[in-house]
């Protein structure tokens, strides 16, 4: 889901914490994210964006099953609590271990987070969310999926804390941990 930037005075809360955001959002229709304490509405999706999200989610599920891993894919709508002022909803995420409670609204220990880029989310996905997701210690991989031209930007946490970035348009993407492989050529076709 894309995040629509709004201007001050648009009626959305500013300067709030995640706890305040959660209370506020329960009273709203629609979906929102919290960026640096400011609430942003999630824009309606285009068909191509929704289709790619589904392909990514399906590819992650298939890779987890093929690898017989004790991991789970969660589609968009479930959040990552980045910090007291950041609450992001990636388009897909993977965590390992026991299955999360069905009533959870966030995943505590995501290993993989994915954002499918749209025109309104490109800057956030490539900058603020990159920094935010890697502030979560469990995150090992952040995938940014570009639609036109079709590419995947793979950011991977290294053992020394540095982030390795690769640009892929074909071949196999290995995400280790947790040890899954995705056929990038098929995914982007």
Cα–Cα distance, 23 to 13 (Å, whole number): 12
Do 106 and 127 meet the contact criterion of CB atoms below 8 Å apart? no
Which residue, chain included where needed, has tokens 């995400």?
175
Domain span holding position 61: 2-188
Share of the chain above pLDDT 90, in %: 79
- CB-based contact 32:39 (threshold 8 Å): yes
State the total domains in the chain: 1
Q: Are strands 150-157 and 163-168 parallel, antiparallel or unpaired?
A: antiparallel
**Rounded mean pLDDT, 79-93:** 94
CATH number at residue 47: 3.90.1570.10
CA dist 88 and 81 (Å) reads 7
- For residue 121, pLDDT over 90 is answered with no
* Burial grade of 5 (CB within 10 A; 0-12, 13-18, 19 or more): middle
Residue 6: its pLDDT value, please? 44
Burial class (CB in 10 A: 0-12, 13-18, 19+), 132: buried
Listed in sequence order, the residues at least 6 apart from 99 whose beta carbon sits closer than 8 Å to its beta carbon are: 72
pLDDT band at 1 (very low <50, low <70, confident <90, very high): very low
Q: What is the pLDDT of residues 139-185, one digit of tens each?
A: 999 999 999 999 999 999 999 999 999 999 999 999 999 999 999 99
| The predicted structure's pLDDT at residue 119 | 77
Q: Stretch 121-136: mean pLDDT, rounded?
A: 90
Q: What is the pTM of this model?
A: 0.88
């Amino acid at each position: 889901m894309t995040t629509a930037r709004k201007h001050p005075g648009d009626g959305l809360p500013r300067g709030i914490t995640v706890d305040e955001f959660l209370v506020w959002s329960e009273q709203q229709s629609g979906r929102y994210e919290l960026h640096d304490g400011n609430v942003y509405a999630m824009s309606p999706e285009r068909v191509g964006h929704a289709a790619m999200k589904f392909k990514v989610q399906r590819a992650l599920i298939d890779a987890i099953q093929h690898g017989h891993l004790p991991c789970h894919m969660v589609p968009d709508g479930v959040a990552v609590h980045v910090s007291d002022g950041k609450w992001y909803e990636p388009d897909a995420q993977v965590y390992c271990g026991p299955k999360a409670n069905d009533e959870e609204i966030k995943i505590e220990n995501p290993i993989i987070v994915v954002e499918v880029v749209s025109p309104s989310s490109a800057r956030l996905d490539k900058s603020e969310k990159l920094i935010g997701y890697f502030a979560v210690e469990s995150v090992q991989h952040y995938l940014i999926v570009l639609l036109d031209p079709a590419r995947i930007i793979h950011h991977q946490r290294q053992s020394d804390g540095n982030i390795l970035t690769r640009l892929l348009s074909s071949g196999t993407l290995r995400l280790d941990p947790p040890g899954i492989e995705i056929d990038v050529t098929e995914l982007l076709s």
